[in-house]
Amino acid sequence: MTSHKNLLRHLLMARSSWMEEQVTAAASLNGYPYVTTAMNRLFAHLGGRPIGLSELARRLSVSRQAVHKLASEAEKLGLVEFVPDESDKRVMLLRFTQKGWRMSESAAASFVKMEEELARHIGKENVEELRRILSLPWPSAASNARQNSRKVHSN
């Protein structure tokens, strides 16, 4: 029987939880104690351009309603704003405000410190190897489903 704690999925989830705890603690220390883990996950998907709530919901694997509630909470804090899509005025997009960008820059600096701390614990070479491995292309869920379907039908 396979020990679940040694499955790659569990190891990645545990390390992701460590990272989220570090991010939340850093946010609090940097003047953003109200930023939750769920907000951190949402903010991780906000890039340099506005994004739709449906796309955010897909990326986060949650309902559009859950994303809207979270985005509304972040809006009340002045970190994000809703803006109309230039190509379809009925669609609302989400983007960082100036305050949100300052928070994002603060978070980026915290990420660098976290990686430095991790390098002190597991070695700089191991951090770079981890970055290299995680940067390799991975198959999409759709391609995995097609492969598995072909295996089932060929048996």
What's the domain range around 40?
A: 4-154
66-113 pLDDT tens trace: 999 999 999 999 999 999 998 888 889 999 999 999 999 999 999 999
Contact criterion met (CB below 8 Å) for 82 and 115: no
Task: Average the pLDDT over 115-141 and give the result.
Answer: 94
CB-neighbour burial class of residue 79 (10 A; exposed 0-12, middle 13-18, buried 19+) = buried
Task: Average the pLDDT over 46-66 and give the result.
Answer: 93
Give which of 134, 117, 129 is closest to 25, Cα–Cα. 117
Which domain CATH number covers 74? 1.10.10.10
Average pLDDT, the chain: 89
Q: Distance between CA atoms of 103 and 35, rounded to whole angstroms?
A: 10
Q: Distance between CA atoms of 117 and 94, rounded to whole angstroms?
A: 33
* Max CA separation in the chain (angstroms): 58
Element (H, E) at 96: strand 92-96
Task: Give the three-state DSSP class for 63.
Answer: coil
Contact criterion met (CB below 8 Å) for 44 and 87: no
Number of domains making up the chain: 1
How does residue 153 score in pLDDT terms, banded at 50, 70 and 90?
A: low
Comparing 21-25, 46-50, 51-55, the range with the smallest average pLDDT is: 46-50
Task: Average the pLDDT over 115-140 and give the result.
Answer: 95
Q: Distance between CA atoms of 28 and 23, rounded to whole angstroms?
A: 9
How does residue 6 score in pLDDT terms, banded at 50, 70 and 90?
A: confident
Q: Rounded to two decimals, what is the model's pTM?
A: 0.78
Task: Average the pLDDT over 26-40 and give the result.
Answer: 93
Return the higher-pLDDT residue of 134 and 89.
Answer: 134
Residues 6+ apart with CB under 8 A from 46: 80, 94, 95, 96, 100, 104
